Amino acid sequence: MFSAPTLHVITTELTVGMFSLSGICFLLIFIGKGPEVKDSVAHWALAGGLLATPLAILTGVNSAPGDGLDNPLLANKLLLSMSAVGLALGLLWSRITGGRQDGRLHPSIGMVSVGMILLTAGIGGEYVRGESLIFFLPKDIVLLFPVWVSVVIMAMGFTLIGLSLTKSKVTESH
């Protein structure tokens, strides 16, 4: 039998490793260096990291001491990881539907997404071991919106996603 903390180590290694690889490739795309395959690697590694992220979250919840979200670090981990997943999903969708993306905006968003995942992992290390290289960030402050604000934001997100899907279908039909 494996305990949840052991599985959490495995799944976080998987997640962080894939996101890191993706981040390096996005960096190469951003600076215009490196082999041509960097675009494929960046997006496939991002997809792999996305697949491994739910496993990391589930095992992390099971291995965390205490009940529920009783620490601001855990709350910030949740917000950061979900934001990063949103960015990564958007990137992959753009790449799949729009083909290879030129310019620096696309890799920049990829690097931001990867950075947020790495920050999430760093906060996890601080939660467990009490030490962190990113000590200068106010990680014990949680910016919590009222529920109605979250509902509005979620509605905006759904609208944007819906418009994008509609536009994509229209483009395909043409």
Q: How many CA atoms lie within 13 A of 2 on its CB side?
A: 9
Query: Phi then psi for 66, rounded to 5 degrees?
Result: 85, 175
Footprint (CB under 8 A) of another protein, residues 2-41: 35-37, 39-40
Cβ nearer to another protein, comparing 58 with 142: 142
Q: Is 138 near another protein (CB under 8 A)?
A: no
DSSP letter at 139?
T
Instruction: Kindly write out the interface string for residues 63-102 of this chain, putting x where it contacts another protein by CB under 8 A and - elsewhere.
Output: --x--xxxxx--x--xx--xx-xxx-xxx-xxxxxxxxxx
- Which of 70, 63, 25 lies closest to 44 in space, CA to CA? 25
Instruction: Report the residue from 1, 136, 146, 173 that binds another protein according to the rule CB under 8 A.
Output: 146
Q: Return the residue matching tokens 């919590």.
A: 144
H-state helical runs in 34-146: 38-63, 72-98, 105-129
The two tokens of residue 11 are: 């799944």
Give the shortest CB-8-to-another protein separation in angstroms: 15
Q: Return the residue matching tokens 């697949």.
A: 51
- Summarize as ranges the residues that interact with another protein (CB under 8 A): 35-37, 39-40, 43-44, 65, 68-72, 75, 78-79, 82-83, 85-87, 89-91, 93-103, 105-106, 109, 126, 128-131, 142, 144-147, 149-151, 153-154, 156-161, 163-165, 167
